Structure 1
């Protein structure tokens, strides 16, 4: 899947959780989830990312059983209605990922990069499915308490290379690996800015890069807004910058503005 990427693709966020930072509780039922999927498809979504555990700063962990209870009926319903749509399962747990894949998911998005549950790497290898490996310093509950880097770009790049090596050692094919610098995950505001300014160094690792800045809090402090929903334009700016830096996957809440930003930036990049 990842080796076939040329033009930018949008991964639409579908949180079936009560406590996600921006849209918690809005799409927890199957009917609401399906309506949201259709709306995102109408606006240009390429992949839907279903998550049953909030990973916002300070979030408490959710049991595997509860995650499965939340995501499996939604994934099964999406697969029934949209048989060709790529479905991502957003989880750090191998058993949740396994249940989701059995229900119809087609790729795994692990914000811990296989650190929390290394068996998720073995599962992806065994099932021959794509996996996104993200960099995160710490865990969601505590990651923003006191993050620190001497050189955030170098340390995140090295960390991602380590997760790539672990994935390859587990038997995951190169074509099935994508990476994510983890904007907002154990990062200070300046760390996030530095990573966004140096995305080409992440892309230089040679694997497709996923960027997830959608409605992130650090942008609010720059733009002087407090509500995540007010950061649609800011998110689209990072999408355009990401395209120009070589990013090909974007995990977003707001599809249409990011579709426009990605498509325009791609047309400009193609003309260079």
Structure 2
């Protein structure tokens, strides 16, 4: 069987002057400082709780920490831009002080929140809206010159599940990325990561169709992020709830890696690191 050479491409990201080598896949641990995220809302709202969570993620092997202060769960409470900044700023400062080597990503669709967060030490912008919810986001990311995670979504978190009709799911997503990647490059931003947006404006069946065709996004020669951790595409199929979706998450994390994902965004870092270790051993054995 021919050896998978995808990870021999020496893809790197410039994260605050440090080069993150994606020639082997990386694990991004999730730190939600929201009261209402779908899986862990309310657990890490205080600085002390966030620091403990961050420390555990790093101990478990996280290469990146993705921090979010605005829940994208349908029906979640709206949070003002100022409140989002006020939630983030003290926690970013505390993490930077206690874990200065941690590479932090900021999960926001607001340009000003992204700008403030980068000034406070965040190295990556993770935008679920692909620039659709803030017209200033692309220019801000380009001005900041930080890696930008470009996710596919339609509408807003409250309307997205009504917007699941596609002419051709995979082709439509590729067209979406092609247009936005071109715009970002025209602005001078080249560190772009593609996130197909599992669970966002997609039915359960469409999520699995997209997973089966994830490798087609390698056409762009850009890093791919897969974020399926404990999502409804797993627990609804298995007829459980999010708290019992770890096994399914691990299965789909392996499928993601086999289909070319460079970054796994997860709640359960230790288990994802184990998946990566098995994947790399398999890859060496081809």
TM-score range, shorter chain: over 0.9
Q: Report deviation, 1:237.
A: 0.9
Give the match's secondary structure for 2:30.
Answer: strand
Please tell me the root mean square deviation across aligned C-alpha atoms, in Å: 1.3
Give the Cα–Cα distance (whole angstroms) in 2 for the partners of residues 44 and 37 of structure 1: 11
Q: Report deviation, 1:271.
A: 3.0
Give the match's secondary structure for 1:48.
Answer: strand
The residue number in structure 1 matching 2:223 is: 208
CA contact (8 A) 1:137 1:187 kept: no
- Output the TM-score relative to the length of structure 2: 0.91
The residue number in structure 1 matching 2:257 is: 243
Is the aligned partner of 1:254 residue 2:268? yes
Q: Report deviation, 1:149.
A: 1.6
The residue number in structure 1 matching 2:105 is: 88
Output aligned runs, 1:152-231, within 5 Å: 152-172=169-189, 174=190, 176-225=191-240, 227-231=241-245
The residue number in structure 2 matching 1:13 is: 30
Is the aligned partner of 1:31 residue 2:48? yes
Q: Report deviation, 1:143.
A: 0.8
Deviations 1:211-230 (A, max 9, x none): 000110121121121x2121
Instruction: Name structure 1 gaps, 5 residues minimum.
Output: none
The residue number in structure 2 matching 1:43 is: 60
Give the match's secondary structure for 2:161.
Answer: coil
Is the aligned partner of 1:63 residue 2:77? no
Give the Cα–Cα distance (whole angstroms) in 2 for the partners of residues 218 and 260 of structure 1: 22
CA contact (8 A) 2:231 2:242 kept: yes
The size of the alignment, in residue pairs, is 269
Q: Which deviates further from its counterpart, 159-168 or 39-48? A: 159-168
Q: Report deviation, 1:266.
A: 2.2
Give the Cα–Cα distance (whole angstroms) in 2 for the partners of residues 179 and 18 of structure 1: 27
Q: Which deviates further from its counterpart, 53-62 or 82-91? A: 53-62
CA contact (8 A) 1:58 1:142 kept: no
Output aligned runs, 1:80-159, within 5 Å: 80-159=97-176
Give the Cα–Cα distance (whole angstroms) in 2 for the partners of residues 163 and 62 of structure 1: 26
Give the match's secondary structure for 2:177.
Answer: helix
Is the aligned partner of 1:265 residue 2:279? yes
CA contact (8 A) 1:122 1:171 kept: no
Q: Report deviation, 1:150.
A: 2.6
CA contact (8 A) 1:49 1:89 kept: yes
CA contact (8 A) 1:243 1:266 kept: no
